[in-house]
Structure 1
Amino acid sequence: MKTRLNLTRLAELDRQFCEFAKLRLHATPRCGWAKTVRLALGMSSKALGDRLGMTAQGVRKLEQAEADASITLKTLMRLADGMDCEVHYVLLPRTSLLEQVVKRAHEVAGGLHEVSPRTRQLSTEPETLEMLGTLFAQASRRGFW
């Protein structure tokens, strides 16, 4: 598959990620989300185990694996399903995707300029996206990242 920089898509993803970024303010509970939700439901580990066809001890091991970030997505989905929950995950960029691309373009061009607040503001305007798209189309894609 040919890799192509799509600035319009990057801008749209950046807008969507703004909503997810609000979740960063809420830290993951120390005991993990699975145990937190189970306890909030008033469900015992035995009751959840019965729903999943496993022992209470097995449930506690899975909850610990989730809290330690060593659980697989498939197992987490099974655990969530036992509590009538869904698992959604997202790769949340630390900075704007457009900022990352513009910063990298500056680095590739030999400059180590910071991305200005004005650039951030302009990066959502259609004319700017078109101009940046033309600029990036001229840049060598091989070795960009």
Structure 2
Amino acid sequence: MNTKQQILARKHLEKRLVGVRKLELAVPPRGWMRAIREALGMSTRQLAERMGVSPSRVPTIEKAEVTGGTTIKTLREAAEAMNCTFVYTFVPVKPLDEILEDRAKEKARKDIARLDHTMKLENQALRRTDLQDEQQRLINGYLAGSPRQLWDN
């Protein structure tokens, strides 16, 4: 995927994430599966029957949901058995472009620190403004190129 396609893909993904970012979901302490099942007045036996599993399996799945030890497939099956839609998503803590910009700044800072150290050792230290200019040039270069280069250490 070329750079223009990546930028376009990020923009489309950001549009999809707008609604999700606005959600303030507080996970029920005993998990979504149990909360929905109980709200529907469904017993573990009834849910197990609808899922096609043994009745002892439902409490095990409910506990595993809370601890993070279940699979997406199992949660999807439980949701379907309760006439629910299972939703799974990653929600970036800030817009994707900001994450890339922050990473470019971090990488440029490290690069400039190494450069500055080397130049000082050679008694050729650069002025602070020159270092800042070079750092901004690096940031712009990282952001103009492939985002893959940002994630190499």
TM-score greater than 0.5 by the shorter chain:
yes
Structure 2: give runs of 5+ residues left out of the alignment.
Answer: 111-139
How far off is 1:99 after superposition? Answer: 0.4
How far off is 1:51 after superposition? Answer: 1.4
Deviation readout 1:59-116 (Å, 9 max, x if unpaired): 11111111211111111111112112221211100111010111222233338xxxxx
Partner SS, residue 110 of structure 1: helix
Give the structure with higher Rg (CA): 2
How far off is 1:3 after superposition? Answer: 6.8
Q: Is the helix fraction higher in 1 or 2?
A: 2
Q: 1:15 to 1:89 in 2, by over 3 A?
A: same
Q: State the match for 1:125 in structure 2.
A: none
Corresponding residue pairs, total: 123
- Normalised to the residue count of structure 1, the TM-score between the two structures is 0.70
Q: State the match for 1:143 in structure 2.
A: 149
Deviation readout 1:15-51 (Å, 9 max, x if unpaired): 321211122x221001100111111111111111111
Q: 1:74 to 1:66 in 2, by over 3 A?
A: same
Q: Which moved more, 1:82-91 or 1:29-38?
A: 82-91
Structure 1: how far apart are the matches of 2:57 and 2:148?
Answer: 48
How far off is 1:9 after superposition? Answer: 2.5
Specify the code of the residue in structure 2 equivalent to 1:136.
L
Following superposition of structure 1 onto structure 2, how do residues 33-52 of structure 1 map, counting pairs within 5 Å? Answer: 33-52=32-51
How far off is 1:135 after superposition? Answer: 7.2
Specify the code of the residue in structure 2 equivalent to 1:9.
A
Specify the code of the residue in structure 2 equivalent to 1:57.
S
Following superposition of structure 1 onto structure 2, how do residues 15-94 of structure 1 map, counting pairs within 5 Å? Answer: 15-23=15-23, 25-94=24-93
Aligned-pair RMSD on alpha carbons?
A: 2.9
Q: State the match for 2:100 in structure 1.
A: 101
How far off is 1:134 after superposition? Answer: 8.7
Higher relative contact order (CA 8 A, sep 6+): 1
Structure 1: give runs of 5+ residues left out of the alignment.
Answer: 112-132
Structure 2: how far apart are the matches of 1:62 and 1:48?
Answer: 11
